Structure 1
Amino acid sequence: MNKKIIIVLMGFPGSGKTTIAKKLSKLLSDKGNKILLLDGDNIRKVLNNFDYSYSNRVKLAQIYLKLARKLSNQFDVTIISSIMLYAEIEKELINNKLIFPFIINKKFNSKKKNNLRKKYKKDTKNFYISKKIKKINNSNLATTIISIIREIKIHL
């Protein structure tokens, strides 16, 4: 890739963000790109921050983006994998031409969907699904990754 870019993969818990990020990272690395993968769960552990309140989630999302921007000049591609479904950061995601945000959609079977809904009900009530950010269906890992790469190439 010619430009240094930031790919943001966001979505509900269990949507496949981390799996997609790892596979995308490997694929781009195998093509000779220098990659930085920032996983929200891992950064939380490093920061020892397990406050799942909405305000803290937004604050962490802003930290992830700031960290990605600061480090992006050292890498060809920086990939962030995190929930990040917050209205407060939408503007930053869509106004920066080097940030490529994607919402990962995953259809769950009804049992898994009900379990996730119960587990994250309190956490997800304020999540925001932007109409301005490209949605990618995660029905098949390879197809999902190809869709992401195609979208990025269109804009580069």
Structure 2
Amino acid sequence: MTWTIYLSGEIHTDWREQIEAGAKQAGLPVQFSAPVTHHEASDDVGVAILGAEPNKFWHDHKGAQINAIRTRTLLGKADIVVVRFGEKYKQWNAAFDAGYAAALGKPLIILHQDEHAHALKEVDAAALAVAKTPDQVVSILRYVINGDLSGYTEALDAAQ
């Protein structure tokens, strides 16, 4: 089986590429999908295709609706959804994707740093795992897909 992993959230760092490279290095049978991560294309798709809007609300609304076609379709096809919350911006769209994935019953992995733990407590509560690094996400995928916990025997021994 090839697992489909949807990577949602923050677009200003290379976390997606790190997860994809780690999964490839681990030889995981996965394919990745994501929203459009080119900021301007995502923001302006509605007016670029359907025509200009003098009101910024309708400009954004058109783009959000077209982007939702992609997001809803790919989230619906995903076996696992990973949502990253970055340090610099508030990602309301990421929170929406996490809620949508939870409502669909998709296994959800949340990725963020400790400073966001309070703000994301409800999102974290809906997740099956909360990670801090892309490497942790790859390790979770490796375990879930292959049942492989090799390399973690020291941590297991310390926990016992």
Relative CO higher for 1 or 2, CA cutoff 8 Å, sep ≥ 6? 1
Q: TM-score, normalised by structure 1?
A: 0.47
